[in-house]
Each structure stands twice: as structure tokens, then as C-alpha cells.
Amino acid sequence: MSSPHTSLKSFNTLGLEISAQALYIADTPEAIITAWQATQQANLPFIILGEGSNVLFLEDFTGGVIVNAIKGITLEEQDEAWQLHVGAGENWHELVEYTLKKGITGLENLALIPGMSGSAPIQNIGAYGIEFKDVCHYVDVLNLSTQKRVRLYREECKFGYRDSIFKHEMKDNYAIVAIGLRLAKQWKPVLNYGDLAKLNPATVCAWDVFNAVCHMRQSKLPDPRVTGNVGSFFKNPLIAQDLAEILLKQWPNMPCYPQANGEVKLAAGWLIDQCNLKGYQVGGAAVHRQQALVLINENHATPQDIVALAHQVRNYVGDKFNVWLEPEVRFIGGQGERDAVEVIS
Ligand code: FAD
Ligand code: EPU
């Protein structure tokens, strides 16, 4: 289905007033190919979208937006695990609830993350001690140029912190059409993050973890249906250990998370908060008052308001800590994706 100059307001969780030349709702891999061919024939750029919860449109998109709406979940019981094959257009949070209702555990820490299941591998979604890679078995990808479908197993996806092969080698001309999850029957609760540590490991069940995660998220993160946002606007920066030690001398309370590779992850929200930026506004855009890492569309923000705010936040943090934040959010210009750091530098 296609229509000329369609509003994308309900297709980006920032709620920006943006339009595209054509919108295609694709509920099968074949429909994605048909829509892609239409954009190629018209010599127009295209972008595939899930729920638009990790994109910032910088201006009207002068091409076709293909919305992934591929549904379907199949479940296979094995001796030690449940195997799920999930259409890329299944909502992620509904998938988490679906598994728990069937008594299948393992996704509870990833509750309430907006977006489609097929988008989850792209930035290797993560929260409360778990990442998508921990439950991923495979990702099915359509090469739009050859129309061939390939299956990438977990090791081939090059997952990293908010990173995967789908942001690099397999970014352009590829559509994720399904994911495969492997959820072990033997449940090991992951309780090391935030308030989850208060739960009793001897008595806790997966629904307790789910409820605690939902509670923590709802207390800090704005609901995009009420206040436009894209979750964490910036990634948590990874820095060298010697730089972290220098910063810790000056700010001994600075949260630090040592990584297996020797780097140290800092909390971007804490860095922004230290610059007293909660509630700081540029035009209709603002830094969220409950979580400084979230930029919000407070009052009819334009893309330029969000970009100007992100630019200022980055400079305040850079000037104070000499740590330069990089957006987690993908920036989409009129013709396609733009380099986000370049746009806000
Ligand atoms: P979109 O924003 O629609 O797309 C993201 C990118 O992927 C775009 O570049 C798009 O072109 C591309 N893309 C989308 N679908 C496909 C496809 N099928 N094939 C190929 N390319 C595709 N993220 C976390 O990791 N952890 C969190 O805790 C978290 N919390 C959030 C809280 C809030 C309130 C919000 C608004 C966002 C949060 N996010 C979080 C970010 C976001 O939810 C995830 O990045 C999510 O996976 C994005 O899904 P989407 O379907 O909305 O993707
Ligand atoms: N902090 C502050 N002030 C703030 C915000 C945070 O001091 O305004 C401090 C907190 O007190 C805590 C630390 O910073 O000590 C980390 O904060 P939090 O636990 O809220 O997590 P985060 O690092 O801000 C990350 C992810 C979230 C994910 C949560 C929970 C990134 C970029 N963000 O946020 O993911 O939900 O951890 O695991 O890694 C997203 O990617 O969109 C997202 C929301």
C-alpha cells in the first residue's frame, strides 16, 4: 500500500511533524521487495522502519518509507530450551509478555523496550543486565539487491554494545525479516542491575523481575505515547581505563562499569546531570527531568530544536569532562541516514 506525501508523525516516537513521499506497509518479505522495487524504479531513496523509536528525522524524507509489519510467532519445544521463530514486525514488548504467559522465561529483563522484534538485533537492545545477543539464535535477512534470504547465526552478527553487523556491512539494502530466539528451560535470574538486586534470588520468579523492570522504567522513562522521545539519546561512552582513573580523582562518585576488554563504560546520564542540564530547553526540545540521557519533544519541537539541544548537551559534557558523547539514535536526512556525530558537532 502506498500513498503520496504521507505524514510520519505516528511513525516516529519523537512525534515530529515529518512526511515521506510514499509509505508502504509490508507484511511479508515479498511485500518489502515490491515496495523496494517501486522506490528503485522511481529513483527514490528508501528506508525501512519498525516503530521509529530509535530515529530522528532531520527533515521531510524525499523517498519511500517501508514499514516492517511481518507477523507470526512459532514455538518449538526442545529438551533443554524453547526455540522461537518471530516475524520481524512483532512488537518486542508483546513478545516478552507472550513468552512469560506461556511460562517461558529469559526475556523478562528486556520488558517495555519499544520497537519491533526485527529491530532488536540492529543495536543489540539491552537493559537491566541482558542484551539481545544473550537470547539470539539467528537473524533472517533479505538482501534486497539479490532478493536472497540469508540466516546469520549469533556469532555472525558481530554483536557489541548497541552495535551489530546490521549497522555496518549489512546496513544498506538489507531487511531483517525474522529473528530466532533460544530460551533455556533452566531459568537463571539476572538480578545485578539497579533495584533488581533487592529481589530475593531464592524466591523470585520471572514475573517479579518483569514487574520490577516495568516499575523502574516507568519511574524514569517518558511514555512516548504521552511525551515524544527515543529513549537514551546518546550511548554510554566507553573510555580507556587511565582516562577513567583521572576522572575518578576529580569525581570519586562517578558511575563506572569496567568492561571485559579493559575499557570503562561511563553513565552518559550522570555526566549530563553533572552539568545541571535536567529540564534544559532549546525551543520545544528539553532534557528529561527524571533521566538526563533522554531528550524529549516537550512542546511541538522541530528537528532543528532536537539537533541544537543535542549539540549543546554534547558540548557542555565535552567541555567539563573531555568526554564526547555519540548519539545512539539514528539520524535520517531527506535522502537517507546521516552521520549523527557530524550533524551535532
Ligand atoms: P526503528 O526506530 O524503526 O529503526 C531503527 C533503525 O533500524 C533505523 O535505522 C531503521 O532504518 C532500521 N530498521 C528498522 N527495521 C528494520 C528492518 N526490519 N530491517 C533493516 N533495518 C531496519 N533501546 C535499548 O537498547 N534499550 C532500552 O532500554 C531502550 N529503551 C527505550 C525506551 C524508550 C522510551 C524509547 C522510545 C526507546 C528505547 N530504546 C531502547 C530504543 C529502541 O526502543 C530500540 O532501538 C528498538 O529496537 C528500536 O525499534 P524500532 O522498531 O522502533 O526501530
Ligand atoms: N544517572 C544520573 N542522572 C541521570 C541519569 C542517570 O545520575 O539523570 C546515573 C544513575 O543514577 C546511575 C547511572 O547514571 O548511576 C546509570 O543510569 P540508568 O541506570 O538509568 O541507566 P542508563 O545508563 O542511563 C542504560 C541504557 C538504557 C537502559 C538502562 C537500563 C544506554 C545508552 N542506555 O541507561 O537503554 O534501559 O541502562 O539497563 O546504554 C536506550 O538505549 O534507549 C535505553 C533506555
Q: What's the pLDDT score for residue 218? A: 97
Q: Is the CB of 29 under 6 A from ligand 2?
A: no
For ligand 2, the distance from its centroid to the CA atom of residue 195, given in whole angstroms, is 13
From CA 32, how far away is CA 39, in angstroms rounded?
A: 11
Q: What's the pLDDT score for residue 5? A: 72
- Cell 510467532 belongs to residue: 73
Q: Is the CB of 120 under 6 A from ligand 1?
A: yes
For ligand 1, the distance from its centroid to the CA atom of residue 209, given in whole angstroms, is 23
From CA 29, how far away is CA 112, in angstroms rounded?
A: 26
Nearest ligand 1 atom to alpha carbon 54: 2
Q: Is the CB of 328 under 6 A from ligand 2?
A: yes
* Closest residue CA from atom 34 of ligand 2: 232
Ligand nearest to the CA of 271: 2
Q: What's the pLDDT score for residue 231? A: 98
Average pLDDT for consecutive 10-residue bins of the chain (345 residues)? 75 97 97 98 97 98 98 98 98 98 98 98 98 98 97 98 98 97 97 95 97 97 98 98 96 96 96 98 98 98 98 98 98 98 98
At CA 13, angle to CA 7 and CA 15, rounded to 5? 50
pTM of the full structure: 0.97
At CA 59, angle to CA 58 and CA 60, rounded to 5? 140
Q: What's the pLDDT score for residue 313? A: 98
